[in-house]
Amino acid sequence: MFSNNIFVKILILISFFLFLICLSAILYEFYKLKKINKDIQFISFIYDNTTKILNFDVNSKRIKKYKSIEALKIFDKSFSDKGYILFSGYSEHYNSSLTHLYSLSKKEIIHSWKAPIINIHDMAPDFTREYNLKKNYRMQHPLLLANGGLIFSSGEGPLVKIDVCGKLLWAINRHFHHSIESLGETIIAPIILKDSINKNFPFLDHGFAILNEKSGNILQEFSILKILEDNNFIGLLYGVGEFEYDRVHLNDAELIYKNDKYVKEGDVMLSSKHLSTVFLYRPSTKKIIWLKTGPWLNQHDVDYLGDGKFTIFGNDTFRYNKVDTYDVFYKNHNKVYLYDMTTDTVNEIYINHMKNISTPTQGLHQILENGDLFIEETDNFKIYRFGKKSKRWEFVNHLNNDYIGSIHWSRYLNSKVDLGWLDKAECND
C-alpha cells in the first residue's frame, strides 16, 4: 500500500513538471509571436493552435448551397468551346479532392485522378496532418504532363507526381504551396525555405524552387526576402507598416517561355500578395528587371502576354487585423490589370465582367488565344469564360442539385492539347 502511494506521488510530480514544461513552451511561442503582432490575444492563440493540434477538418468550407442541375451552364449559344477544364474539386463520395479533366464540348468528365495519400505520407513523413490529411487534401493547381501524369501539392505540403492511373512516382518532403508551372522538363513552385537567411527575428522565408520534372530533384532555391534585399528594396520590405511574420506571402511563380526584347527565357514572374507587388526576376544575373507595387492589392496570378505586356489578377482587398486577420474588399470586387512595359502604364480590362467577380483570398485568370478571359472565382467555387462583350459559360463542381464543391486552382486547356494518352490508359478504378 505504501509503495503504491509513493508511486502515485511520483507520477503526479512528473505530470506536474511535464505540465510546466509544456506551459513554458506555449508561453515562449506566444510571446515570440507577440513581438510581431501586438494585437494577438492569448485565448485566440491557444484556440488557433489547439485546432491545428486536433487536425481541424476543413470540409465545412468545401461545399456551398447552390441550385444547379448541371456543371456547365452555357450563356453564349452561338459559341462552341472545344477546350477542356483541368480542375481539382472536392468529392462527397471520396471525402477528399479528385482531379478531373472536363470536356466542354461533351459536357462530361473524361478522366479523373486520385491522390495516393497513404503513399505520399510514406514518402513525405513530415507532412501527414492538417491540409495533408485525406479529408482536407486539395490536389492544388494540378499540372497535366504529356503522358497523362500529374504534378500537384496539398496546397501546404509535398510536391507530388503521379502517373495517369494515380500511381505515385515521387513526393518531395518539403513545404510547397500555391502555383505550379513548367517550362519543358523544368518545374517552378513556391516553397517555404529552411533558415536560408540568418535573422535575429522570426519570419516565414518564402521562396521558389526550380525542379526537374522527371526526377523531382530540386535544382535551385531562391529566397524572396534575399532577392528584395540584394536588389535594394529595403523600404518595401521593412519601411511600410509593421514587419509581419508572413511578410512576403509568395502566391505565384511563373517562368518566361521565350526571349523577346523585354524578357529572356528563364526569367521568373513573381507575385507577393502581402506586399501587393509583382516583379520580374532574372536568376542568371540575380537582378530584378521590373517591379511594381499596386494599383492591384493582395493580388494573385501574374501572366506574361508578350511584347512587354503583363496581366495581373487583383483581388483588390486589404488585410485588416485587430485580433484575427481577414480580407476586406477595397471596392467590392476583383479586377484584371494590364501593365505595359513600353509605356509604363496600367489599365483595367474586362471591367464590366469583373464587377461581378469577388473572391477575396484566392483566384486566377488566363487570357486565351482569341482574347477571351478565363477566370476562377475560387472562394465562390465558380469558373467562367468571358468574351469581349458577353459571358460564354459558367462552370461549377457539381455535387448535386443543391450543392457545389470547392475547386483548387484550375487550368483551361485548348483543343490543341494532346490527349493521346487517354486511349492508352488502362487504369483499375
- Residues 246-280: tens digit of each pLDDT: 999 999 999 999 999 999 999 999 999 999 999 99
In this prediction, residue 8 carries a pLDDT of 61
Tens of pLDDT, residue by residue over 57-79, are 444 589 999 988 899 999 999 99
Is the pLDDT score of 36 beyond 50?
A: no
Residue 56: which pLDDT band, with cuts at 50, 70 and 90?
A: very low
- How confident is the model at residue 26, as a pLDDT? 61
Parallel, antiparallel, or unpaired: how do β-strands 373-377 and 364-367 relate? antiparallel
| Res. 35 pLDDT band, cuts 50 70 90 | very low
**Interatomic CA distance for residues 367 and 373, integer angstroms:** 5
Q: Could you read off the pLDDT of 322-373 as tens digits, one per residue?
A: 767 778 899 899 999 999 999 999 999 999 999 999 999 999 999 999 999 9
pLDDT digits (tens, 9 = 90+) for 187-227: 999 999 987 788 888 899 999 999 999 999 999 999 999 99
Report pLDDT for 45.
53
Calpha distance 189→178 (Å, rounded)? 7
Q: Report whether pLDDT(236) > 60.
A: yes
> What confidence tier does 21 reach under pLDDT thresholds 50, 70, 90?
low
Determine the longest span between alpha carbons in the chain, in angstroms.
90
What's the pLDDT at 32? 47
CATH C-level class of 55-417: mainly beta
User: How much is the pTM?
Assistant: 0.86
Output the pLDDT for position 197: 82
**From residue 42, how far is each of 28, 33, 38, 60 by CA, in Å?**
12, 10, 11, 26
At residue 34, the 3 state secondary structure works out as helix
For residue 7, pLDDT beyond 70: no
274 and 297 in contact (C-beta within 8 Å)? no
Q: What is the pLDDT of residue 9?
A: 64
For cell 448535386, name the residue. Answer: 400
For CA atoms 334, 340, 346, 349, the dihedral sign is negative
Compute the average pLDDT of residues 94-119: 97
62-88 burial: b if 16+ Cβ within 10 Å, else e: bbbebebeebbeeeeeeeebebbbbbb
For residue 27, the SS3 value is helix
Compute the Cα dihedral for 57, 58, 64, 69 and give only its sign. Answer: negative
> What is the residue-averaged pLDDT of the chain?
90
Spatial contact of 373 and 335, defined as CB atoms under 8 Å apart: no
Q: 3-class secondary structure for 223-264? A: EHHHHHHHCCCHHHHHCCCCCCCCCCCEEEEEECCCCCCCCC
Residues in the chain: 429
pLDDT digits (tens, 9 = 90+) for 362-420: 999 999 999 999 999 999 999 999 999 999 999 999 999 999 999 999 999 999 999 99
- Residue 275 has phi, psi (to 5 degrees) of -105, 0
**Confidence label for 141 from pLDDT (cuts 50, 70 and 90):** very high
Range 103-126 average pLDDT = 97
Per-residue model confidence (pLDDT) at position 245: 92
- pLDDT surpasses 80 at 40: no
Instruction: Report the first-to-last Cα separation within the chain, whole angstroms.
Output: 62
Identity at 334, one-letter amino acid code: N
160-197 tens-digit pLDDT: 999 999 999 999 999 999 999 999 999 999 999 987 78
Residues of the chain with CATH 2.130.10.10: 55-417
Tell me which residue has cell 477528399: 96
SS (H, E, C) 290-311: EEEECCCCCCEEEEEEECCEEE
Distance CA(186)–CA(26), nearest Å, equals 42
pLDDT at residue 337 in the model: 98
Return the percentage of the chain with pLDDT > 90, whole number. Answer: 78
Higher confidence at residue 16 or residue 377? 377
Q: Which of 416, 385, 369 is nearest to 72 (CA)?
A: 385
Q: How far apart are CA 409 and CA 313, in angstroms?
A: 13
One-letter amino acid of 413: L
Q: What is the pLDDT of residue 242?
A: 85
Distance CA 387, CA 373 (A): 7
**Other beta carbons within 10 Å of 266:** 16
